[in-house]
Amino acid sequence: MTFDNTLQNMIGISPFFILKLFILLGLMMYLAFALVVVRQIQLMSNVVGGGGQYGIKLMTLIHLAAILLIFVLALLTL
């Protein structure tokens, strides 16, 4: 009997399912961080001004969209 089988028999949950839950938790925390970054960039752009703010805003929105896509795909594979 392997460790995976023993653990699954003891608690009734696969160890890989627990690992997936921890990965989803980490992705949720990273998603919250990405939202904070977007907000900080918006506040910085209002204070600083200038012509280079649109490129930075675009990069943060692409980053947020990528994180949302990764989170949704991870959630669907659960």
pLDDT, tens digit, 9 for 90 and up, residues 7-35: 667 777 777 888 889 999 999 999 999 99
Structural contact between residues 24 and 75, judged by C-beta atoms closer than 8 angstroms:
yes
Give the predicted TM-score (pTM) of the model: 0.76
Higher-confidence residue: 6 or 23? Answer: 23
Taking 80 as the threshold, does the pLDDT of residue 45 lie above it?
yes
Q: What is the pLDDT of residue 7?
A: 66
Number of Cα atoms under 13 Å in the Cβ half of residue 26: 7
Average pLDDT over residues 29-48: 92
CA distances, 33 to each of 25, 45, 65, 75 (Å): 13, 18, 13, 18
